[in-house]
Structure 1
Amino acid sequence: MTEAGVASARLSAAQLDELIPHIHDSQWDSPSACAGWRVIDVLAHLGALAHEAVDPPPPEPGLPTVRERYHDLRVDQRRSLSHAEVIDEWRTYTPRQLDLLEADQASTRSAGPVTVPGLGVYPRHLLANTMAFNVLCHLRYDMLAPDGPLPFTLPPPTDQQVSPAIGFMLAGLPQMQGPELDNTVTVPLSLELTGPGATTVTVHPARGSGTRLTLSPGDDGSTRIRSTALSFIAWGTTRKPWRPYCTISGDEPVAAAFLDCLNII
């Protein structure tokens, strides 16, 4: 189970909640570090995710199949709302989403597969890690300085806060991009992440036509990529270029091809 994912999501959500009363109207309208979104749009995105988790919408034909465009659509639907209305959606549905995620940990359905359109298939209990990633990433990398516009500081993220977010990223890595990423992995690549959220996994090539690359715990790669886990959240989502944050030993061109293509949503 991933109770740690619930704890991480609760902590990041509480930190965001504590900041909300200190954000002025002009700051809400400032461009965030998420291209095309203001700070208030980032909160609208998180509120929309919480709302849909609690009260799933009926099927809507014609919705974007690319997950990023789907998120843009949901944010665009909220651009006419006041700041107070966006904040209210976040505050209304986020506690309920957290309670649902916690209940999922003990549910008989916890290991059952859940399809997240555009992102892959995950065991239900791992959806807590998805929220842990979303709130931590958007708050610390898109809203807060130095990358975002908000001049507030938070305590450095702990291993307990970061590890579940990294867990979701690694679960999604083999699923989110398809053949264009699979084709870059021709030898096993070890990905060593250090600091809070530290872990090491090996990315294995696809085994044949119609198969996908796979991940396994540990260092079994002939080529190694090394980075801090916190930097991985930034460059693994293409918020920052990978080159200033990664060191490579082994087959550098193969590792670079993989890193140039990687884009975890």
Structure 2
Amino acid sequence: MRDAYDEWSVKGLAALGAVQDPPMADTVVSLSDLGEHPMHLLGNAIAFDHYCHLRHDIGAAIARAADLPRDPTVLAATLEWMLAGLPQMCADALDGAPRQPVNLVFDGVAADSWCLTPGDPEAGPRWVVAHGVDDDAPVVRTTAHDFVSWGTKRADWRSTSTGDVDDPRVAAVLDAIDVI
């Protein structure tokens, strides 16, 4: 089994390398219930799958998997995939949430900031995730590692998030996040 994984991972990395440069990188593909994404994010999706499933699924039963290193490059790629997919994968649940922008500030490994903002449901995307913060929006602080867990409903955000989490509008937006 390990030999097959080693063989196919080398081939997979070569294939993913081929979609990192234009025009392939910008070609948008439909990924069923995951939404539509530019091909350059396919490697991020695989990084997400490995990071999430090893540390949060297998890690629930095997401590050695849960304790794997939190590589900043892999975690940043994982976050990029989750945040790119969030508006599409969570669209229906977010439609039921208040139209409240929320800053997501990630501390620790892969520290970064993003803002989840309601879009124009009539003319464009229903919700948008943008790099950076909106100074007027509430702030939720967590770690990128914990976001992988609660952003996929493997844990509750309430146990690892701080900031404006007592605002019921913010809580409703966070409750709507379920990246698959």
Distance in 1 between the 2:5 and 2:57 partners?
A: 17
Contact 2:91 / 2:127 at 8 angstroms: preserved in 1? no
1:177 alignment counterpart: 90
Contact 2:25 / 2:38 at 8 angstroms: preserved in 1? yes
* Runs of at least 5 residues in structure 2 that lack an aligned partner in the other structure: none
Distance in 1 between the 2:127 and 2:62 partners?
A: 37
Distance in 2 between the 1:188 and 1:152 partners?
A: 35
Residues 20-69 of structure 1: CA distance to partner in whole angstroms, max 9, x if unpaired?
xxxxxxxxxxxxxxxxxxxxxxxxxxxxxxxxxxxxxxxxxxxxxxxxxx
Decide which of 28, 46, 65 is 1:113's aligned counterpart: 28
- Offset of residue 208 of structure 1: 3.4
Distance in 2 between the 1:89 and 1:254 partners?
A: 48
- Offset of residue 207 of structure 1: 1.8
Aligned pair 1:243/2:170, yes or no?
Answer: no
Aligned sequence identity (%): 32
TM-score, scaled to structure 2 = 0.88
Aligned residues: 178
Residue pairs, 1:92-131, within 5 angstroms = 92-106=7-21, 108-131=23-46
Contact 2:56 / 2:66 at 8 angstroms: preserved in 1? no
Q: Structure 1 193/150 Cα, relative in aligned 2: closer, same or farther at 3 Å? A: closer
Residue pairs, 1:206-225, within 5 angstroms = 206-209=119-122, 211-220=125-134, 221-225=136-140
Larger Rg: 1
TM-score, scaled to structure 1 = 0.61
Residues 141-180 of structure 1: CA distance to partner in whole angstroms, max 9, x if unpaired?
1113xx2235467552121221001100000010112232
1:258 alignment counterpart: 173
